[in-house]
Amino acid sequence: MSPGAATGVTEAELIKTRRAKLAALRAAGRDPYALTTFARSHTLVAVREAFDHLAAGEHAGGATVTVAGRLQSMRRMGKRSVFADLTDQSARLQVYFHTDRLGPEFEAVDLLDRGDVVGVRGEPFRTKSGELTVAADEVTVLAKSLRPLPEKWHGLVDPEIRYRRRYVDLMVNRPVLEAMLTRSAIIAALRRHLDELGYVEVETPILLALAGGANARPFVTHSHALDMPLQLRIATELNLKRCIVGGIEKVYEIGRTFRNEGVDRTHNPEFTMLELYEAYTDVEGMLRLCEGMVVAAAHAARVGERHEYGGRELVLRPPFARMSYLDALREFGGLTREDILDEARARAAAERLGLRLDVKASHPHVVDKLFEATVEPHLVNPTFITEHPVLLSPLAKRKAEDPDFVERFELYIAHMEVANAFSELNDPDDQRERFERQAKERAAGDPEAPEPDWDFVQALEYGMPPTGGIGVGIDRLVMILTNADSIRDVLLFPLQRPEA
RNA sequence: GCGUCGUUAGCUCAAUGGUAGAGCAGCGGACUCUUAAUCCGUUGGUUGUGGGUUCAAGUCCCUCACGACGCACCA
C-alpha cells in the first residue's frame, strides 16, 4: 500500500493524499466513518489528574485508560514508534504508539495524519523527560481529517480565516476554545446566582411589530403569513416590565438583542444582554445586585480581585466607586449643571471641547458626547455613574428632590459601559409625556427617535409596582474577564460579509 | 458611510520595476523516550479580482471584493 503516491502539495493534492489513506483504512477494515460511538474511560484532564503521581520513567502498573481526541502533532522516531499530541475539550495529552505494544495494529498509525480524530486505549506512564503519556495498546480512527491543518507553531493567524472557519481556530488555537468555555461558565454562573436569589427566567419575543426600550435602529424583516413588517428586538425592557405589571415580581431574561448599527471593537449587530426587573426595590437594590453579579462572573472566570485588562490593573472588589453624573462632568470636564440642562450651553461646551457635532444633533446627543469625551476616558476601575439627566433617561423615575435627574446608574469598567440600571418609571402620565416628546422629535425628522409603544403606557395605567431594573452587556463583561480586545473574540461566529 | 493599511504555496512569512523564495505541513529515506524532535532528499504558485502604465509589474496607477485598524454611527 502506498498512500504517498500522490506527492504533490497543492491543497487538492494534500487532500488526495489523505483520501488515499482513508481508502487504505477502509481496505484494512477500519472505515473511520462507520463507527457510531466510542466509550471513553477518561477525558484527557482526568488522565492528567488520576496519574499525576507517576514519577519520570514510571508506568501505571498495567492500569489502562481509553481516551479520544484530535491528533495535533506527530513525531516519528524510527520505523516502530511515534509520539503524538492528542487534544480534547479538556486538555492536551501525549500518546505513544509503538510496535512492541500495538503489534499489527501499528499499520493504522502509518495512515494517521495531523487532525485525525482517534481513540486510544493504553497504559499511562511518564517519560524520562517527565511528560505524562499514554502508551497505546489499541488505536481506532474515529474520523479521518481530509484537509491540512494550519502550521503547528504559528497556528492560524489570519483573522479573516479564523472567523470564517472558527472550527479550525477552535481546534488549533486553544485560548480561543478557553475563552468560549469561560463565556459559557460566566453565563451559567449568572443564571445560577439569579436563580438562587429567586429570580424567574422568561423568554420574550425577538420578532416584534414595534421594537422599543432603547434608542437604536432595528433590523427589519417581513412575515409572509401575516403579510406585515416585523422588527427584531433592540431591548427586552418593555416586555419584561409588562411581566412585572402582570405579577412576575423578580424576572430576568438572558438573550440576543439586535441593533442595526455600526460594527467595531465593542459592538456586534447581535449581542447578548441580561435584563432584570424586580418589584418593590429601586436603583439601590440593583446596585447591590450588580456588584454581586460582577463578582459571580469573575469567580466563574477564575479572575481574582486584581485583574489586568488592556494593560491596566483593575480592582474588581465591591463596593465599586460611585460618582454622580454631574460630579463626574465637573471633575473631569469642568462642566456645570447648566452646561448640561441648557441646550445652547451644552452646544457651546461641545464647541469649546472641539467636538465635531452634526448641526442636527439633538440635545440628548450633545450631552452624551460631552460625557463620552470628558468622563469615559477616566473610567478604568469599576465605577457607578449615578443620577443621569432625565433627558437621557426616558424610562427612568425622576429623583423626588430634583426632577431634572433620575434614579439611575451606569457601571463603567475599562472605559466600557457594562451595566445600566434605574428605578423604573411607573407613572403612566409621565411616561406618556416622555413618549410624546420623542414622537415629536421623530415627526420633526429625527429618524433616531424611537416610535412610542402606547400599549406600554396602557400597561403602566393598570399599575406597576415600584420596580428596579438593570441591563448587563454580557459580551463586554466576558471581554474584560477573558482579556479580549474585541467583542469578536468572545463571539463564536461574529458577523462577516460573505466570502468573495 | 469615510480614511489608512493589508491580501504572495495548505499555514506563517520573504522578495530595488528585471528568472517568485524560505520555514512548517506533505511525500521518500535515516533514527526505539520525542515534544517547534533532529538529519538527508524532494514536490508544491493564475502573487485576492478586473483593467492600465512599462521593453519588463508581486512591486507603480485605477476599479472591485474581503479583512484589520481608526473615524462616523451606536443615549
Q: Name which of A321, A202, A261 is nearest A495 in CA terms.
A: A261
In a domain, A166, yes or no: no
| CA A486 – CA A402 distance, rounded (Å) | 39
Alpha-carbon span A433 to A391, nearest angstrom = 12
Per-residue cell: A118: 482517534
Q: Which residue is nearest to nucleotide B64 (CA to C1')?
A: A500
- Output the domain CATH number for residue A126: 2.40.50.140
User: Are residue A22 and residue A53 in the same domain, yes or no?
Assistant: yes
**Whether A354 CB is under 7 Å from strand B:** no
**A474 within some domain:** yes
Tens of pLDDT, residues A210-235: 999 998 889 999 999 999 999 999 99
How far, in Å, CA of A236 to CA of A471, rounded? 9
Looking at the DSSP bridge assignments, the partners of residue A313 are A308
Sign of dihedral through CA atoms A191, A193, A194, A196?
A: positive
CA neighbor of A111 nearest in space, from A34, A183, A31, A43: A31
Helix (H), strand (E) at residue A57:
none
Q: Which of A123, A152, A181 is the last residue of a domain?
A: A152
| Residue A113 sits in the same domain as residue A13 | yes
Q: What residues contact A407, with CB distance under 8 A and at least 6 apart?
A: A282, A283, A387, A396, A397, A398, A399, A422, A423
pLDDT at A137: 96
Q: Which of A122, A146, A195 shows the shortest CA–CA distance to A18?
A: A146
Residue found by looking up cell 485588562 in the block: A309
A66-CA/B68-C1' distance, Å: 43
Pick out chain A residues at pLDDT < 70.
Answer: 1-8, 447, 500
State the CATH number of the domain containing residue A389.
3.30.930.10
Cβ(A368)–Cβ(A340) below 8 Å:
no
Q: Residue A354: its pLDDT value, please?
A: 85
Same domain flag for A236 and A302:
yes
Residues A119 and A178 in one domain: no
A356 Cβ nearer than 7 Å to chain B strand: yes
Quickly give A184 CA vs B33 C1' distance in Å.
39
Nearest nt to A5, CA vs C1'?
B27
Q: Is residue A443 included in any domain, yes or no?
A: yes
Question: Which bases of chain B come closer than 7 Å to a protein CB?
Answer: 1, 6, 9-13, 23-28, 30-38, 42-45, 48, 65-75
Per-residue cell: A276 = 432584570
* CA atoms of A65 and A42, how far apart (whole Å): 6
A179 shares a domain with A143: no
**Same domain as A203, residue A130:** no
**Torsion sign over Cα A337, A403, A284, A479:** negative
- Positions 208-227 in A, CB within 7 angstroms of strand B: 214-216
A370-377 long-range Cβ contacts below 8 angstroms, 24+ apart: A370/A329, A370/A333, A370/A335, A370/A339, A370/A340, A370/A346, A371/A325, A371/A328, A371/A329, A373/A333, A374/A329, A374/A332, A374/A333, A374/A335, A375/A328, A375/A329, A375/A332, A375/A333, A376/A412, A376/A415, A377/A332, A377/A415
pTM for the whole structure? 0.94
Q: What is the pLDDT of residues A114-149, one digit of tens each?
A: 999 999 999 999 999 999 999 999 999 999 999 999
| Number of folded domains that form chain A | 2
Tell me whether residue A17 is in a domain.
yes
pLDDT at A8 (0 to 100): 59
Cα gap A5→A353, rounded to integer Å: 71
Chain segment A427-458, per-residue pLDDT in tens: 999 999 999 998 888 887 776 778 899 999 99
- Measured CA to CA, the distance from residue A497 to residue A500 in angstroms comes to 9
ipTM of the assembly?
0.92
In a domain, A482, yes or no: yes
Whether residues A182 and A271 share a domain: the answer is yes
Instruction: Considering all nucleic acid strands, name the nucleotide whose C1' atom is nearest to the C-alpha of residue A129.
Output: B33
pLDDT at A310: 86
Domain boundary among A122, A152, A182: A152
For A14, A51, A81, A108, A119, the CA distances from A102, given in Å and listed in that order, are 28, 22, 10, 10, 14
Q: Which nucleotide is nearest to A417 (CA to C1')?
A: B75
Q: Are A468 and A285 in contact (CB under 8 A)?
A: yes
Question: What values do phi and psi take at A436, rounded to 5?
Answer: -65, -40
CA dihedral A233, A237, A243, A248 (to 10 degrees): 130
Domain span including residue A293: 172-320+381-490
- Positions 80-119 in A, CB within 7 angstroms of strand B: 80-81, 83, 85, 94, 98, 100, 113-114
Same domain, A146 and A208: no
* Whether residues A430 and A309 fall in one domain: yes
DSSP result, A263-289? -BTTB-SEEEEEEEEEET--HHHHHHH
Same domain? A399 vs A292? yes
In a domain, A121, yes or no: yes
Same domain? For A303 and A443 the reply is yes
Q: Which residues contact A158 (CB under 8 A, 6 or more apart)?
A: none
Report which of residues 285-344 in chain A place their beta carbon less than 7 angstroms from any atom of strand B: none
Q: Are residues A218 and A107 in the same domain?
A: no
Q: Is A367 inside any structural domain?
A: no
A404 touches A388 (CB < 8 A): no
Quick check: is A114 in a domain?
A: yes
